[in-house]
Structure 1
Amino acid sequence: MANRYLKIYGTCGIISAILLTVAYVVGAILRPGYSSISQAISELVEAGAPNKMLLDIILFGFHGLVIPFAYGMHRGINEGKGSKVGPLLLACAGIIGIILTAFFPCDPGCEFVTFRGIMHIFLAIPMGFMILFSILAFSIRFKDTESWYIYVSYSIITFSAGVLLGILSVVFATSVIGGLLERLISASYQQWYIVMGIKLIRSES
């Protein structure tokens, strides 16, 4: 694939990660009394939340850009030759994220009250696992390409850290650090998006 297209796809991954951080920061600033340490991320865009429309637009950008980034990762590794599991999982996570943002915000306080609120949980959890397991799948694919091999261990560590943080976030979901743990999970794959995006941008034709 031409180098200029890989640069575009890599940039999509980097911007995607940045947009998610922007949503967190802007949402917290515009909502007095909100705690990024104890409250869930989804509460920023819960049904009836202030500034929901603005944050939804940012989140649409985050999820939407993951899709071309996933395609770029597929094409950038050995010219698209290899397992499609990683790219498909990552792209599906982006699609689910769009659906989640558009139709299934969590109920106020992220309680399980309405069908919409219940669906939010049923979609959000698989989406998170898709992202993490896509990273694991990519780590396996990296082994077959010399220029990507150096990212094998890094990706496995990223996956492992994400899973560990996921377990901790379930155990401490209602604790005073529930929101912090959730943000650390996101950070675990956001940094991977950025590193992989830079790799795509620097890839040769």
Structure 2
Amino acid sequence: MGSPKLSVLGLGGALAPILFSSVTLVGAYMRPEYSHLDNFISELGATDTPNADIMNFIGFIPSGLLFVLFAISLLLFYARTTLAKAGTILLIVFGLGMALAGIYSCDPGCPPHGSPETTIHDQISAVTFISAIFGIVLLGISFKSSTPFKKLRNYSILSGIVAAILLVIMIDSFESRALTGIWQRLLLLTIFLWTTIIGSSIYDINKDW
């Protein structure tokens, strides 16, 4: 069991979405041609594009590290079963993947085929989303035996399922690039809302121990 002081790490699950979303909005505002409807968020950090460093070094990397801290808080306070530990490890992978996506940025426009860095970025992104989805589902199932989170079991499993559906829809839109940005944002919203609720709960439950 972790120190109650470390429960503040759980707030990473709430702070990361706020930071990432804010930087995305700022980055998009600085590019009048950018479309939230159709463009990937990664395009804001694409190699050699205007203000890419803002998206990568203020958005992707620190947000990813905050998600890692959030996952560590789960590991410290609640990951007692193999299922819970597996889900937590997948969330750590999710956070690291987000940070790495800011280091290995895609080519301008994030084309399906491009430089080696683009290939790495795409592979990291795939692993990142899949890890988050499976991590949420596994933790949701494990919440059945966790008194503090038992009431969030069904919500967690449903969140994972919804995120999986949105990921499939997003991938299906890659060829046309129609509404790809919307599907990606809805996918992230589903994940971000879950991390916010769980992270805030970790802090609230443990802060006064």
1:2 to partner: Cα distance = 3.2
With normalisation by structure 1, the TM-score equals 0.93
Question: What is the aligned partner in structure 2 of residue 196 from structure 1?
Answer: 198
Alignment deviations for residues 127-175 of structure 1 (CA, whole Å, 9 cap, x no partner): 1100111101111221111221111100011001100101111112233
1:152-167 alignment, distance < 5 Å: 152-167=153-168
Runs of 4+, deviation exceeding 3 Å = none
**Aligned equivalents of 1:120, 1:149: Cα separation in 2:** 36
With normalisation by structure 2, the TM-score equals 0.91
Which amino acid in structure 2 is aligned with residue 101 of structure 1? Answer: G
**Aligned equivalents of 1:2, 1:108: Cα separation in 2:** 45
Is this contact kept in 2: 1:20–1:62, CA < 8 A? yes
**Aligned equivalents of 1:99, 1:37: Cα separation in 2:** 24
SS in 2 for 1:190: helix
Question: What is the aligned partner in structure 1 of residue 45 from structure 2?
Answer: 45
Which amino acid in structure 1 is aligned with residue 178 of structure 2? Answer: V
Question: What is the aligned partner in structure 1 of residue 31 from structure 2?
Answer: 31
1:70-149 alignment, distance < 5 Å: 70-77=71-78, 80-83=79-82, 84-102=85-103, 104-111=104-111, 112-149=113-150
SS in 1 for 2:109: helix
Is this contact kept in 1: 2:55–2:102, CA < 8 A? no
1:99 to partner: Cα distance = 2.2
Question: What is the aligned partner in structure 2 of residue 18 from structure 1?
Answer: 18
Unaligned runs of 5+ in 1: none
SS in 2 for 1:108: coil
Question: What is the aligned partner in structure 2 of residue 66 from structure 1?
Answer: 67
1:107 to partner: Cα distance = 1.0
1:96 to partner: Cα distance = 2.4
Is this contact kept in 1: 2:71–2:92, CA < 8 A? yes
Computed over aligned residues only, the root mean square deviation of the Cα atoms, in angstroms, reads: 1.3
Which amino acid in structure 1 is aligned with residue 187 of structure 2? Answer: I
* Pair 1:185-2:187 in alignment: yes
Unaligned runs of 5+ in 2: none
Is this contact kept in 2: 1:3–1:203, CA < 8 A? no
* % same residue: 23
**Aligned equivalents of 2:80, 2:179: Cα separation in 1:** 43
1:47 to partner: Cα distance = 0.8
